[in-house]
């Protein structure tokens, strides 16, 4: 079964790759000096509206990444179970043993089956497509799919971290601009 600890070596190599975002998430720039930033701009309301819109886009991206993460986290155990079953089939083929099992016919209805030693297996590829593979080819395909899923999961984790940083930067910018505007208005009212 895959765990987050298994993703750590991949995540470490992702950080070393230097990519800020694998999903093309735009980077938020921190407003260092609000006075200089607002000098050539019209109104703070339009800037705050743009930042709020950008923050909304970041929230939308976060929802998409979280959905992708959930999908990958459900796929990885399924792939691992299939790999484990391939190993059982290979072991039983070597010893020429039958496998007695139960399979699901419908909800809560199982049937008993005896599986003869075999060197072929059928895999669901998606979109109602199933293909027959040799055990070796199936194992190679599943291992490749597992590796790809783990890499994708690590990229999603990396992008979520990057995205949260961008959201925080945008929120801080919004707060600083709002506070700057409040101080500016107070100064105008004092005159």
Average pLDDT over residues 67-74: 97
**What confidence score (pLDDT) does residue 23 get?**
84
pLDDT above 70 covers a percentage of the chain that reads 91
**What confidence score (pLDDT) does residue 3 get?**
43
**What confidence score (pLDDT) does residue 9 get?**
52
Average pLDDT over residues 72-80: 96
Residue 181 has pLDDT above 60, yes or no: yes
**What confidence score (pLDDT) does residue 8 get?**
53
Residue 11 has pLDDT above 60, yes or no: no
Average pLDDT over residues 125-153: 95
Model confidence at 17, in pLDDT bands (50, 70, 90)? low
Model confidence at 41, in pLDDT bands (50, 70, 90)? confident
List the one residue out of 73, 84, 55, 14 whose CA is nearest residue 166: 55
CATH number of 41-93+120-190: 1.10.287.370
**What confidence score (pLDDT) does residue 10 get?**
53
Instruction: Taking each helix axis as running N to C, give the angle between helix 135-190 and helix 4-17, from 0 to 180 degrees, rounded to the nearest 10.
Output: 60
pLDDT above 90 covers a percentage of the chain that reads 76
Q: Which residue has the tokens 């801080």?
A: 172
Average pLDDT over residues 62-79: 96
**What confidence score (pLDDT) does residue 126 get?**
84
Residue 5 has pLDDT above 50, yes or no: no
Domain ranges of the chain: 41-93+120-190
Give the chain's largest Cα–Cα span: 95
Residue 2 has pLDDT above 50, yes or no: no
Q: What is the 3-state secondary structure (H, E, C) of 84-116?
A: HHHHHHHHHHHHCCCEEEEEEEECCEEEEEEEC
Residue 112 has pLDDT above 60, yes or no: yes
Model confidence at 20, in pLDDT bands (50, 70, 90)? confident
């Amino acid at each position: 079964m895959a765990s987050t600890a298994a993703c750590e070596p991949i995540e470490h190599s992702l950080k070393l790759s230097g990519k800020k975002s694998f999903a093309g998430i735009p980077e938020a720039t921190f407003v260092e000096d609000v006075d200089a930033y607002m000098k050539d701009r019209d109104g703070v309301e339009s800037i705050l509206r743009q930042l709020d819109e950008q923050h909304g886009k970041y929230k939308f991206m976060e929802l998409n990444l979280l959905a992708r993460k959930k999908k990958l986290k459900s796929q990885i155990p399924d792939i691992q179970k299939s790999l484990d079953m391939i190993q059982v089939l290979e072991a039983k083929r070597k010893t020429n043993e039958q496998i007695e099992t139960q399979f699901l016919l419908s909800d809560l209805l199982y049937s008993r089956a005896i599986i003869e030693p075999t060197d072929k297996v059928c895999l669901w590829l998606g979109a109602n497509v199933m293909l027959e593979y040799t055990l070796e080819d199936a194992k190679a395909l599943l291992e490749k799919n597992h590796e790809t899923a783990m890499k994708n999961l690590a990229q999603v984790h990396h992008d979520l971290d990057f995205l949260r940083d961008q959201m925080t930067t945008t929120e801080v910018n919004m707060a600083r601009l709002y506070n700057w505007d409040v101080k500016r208005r107070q100064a105008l009212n004092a005159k």
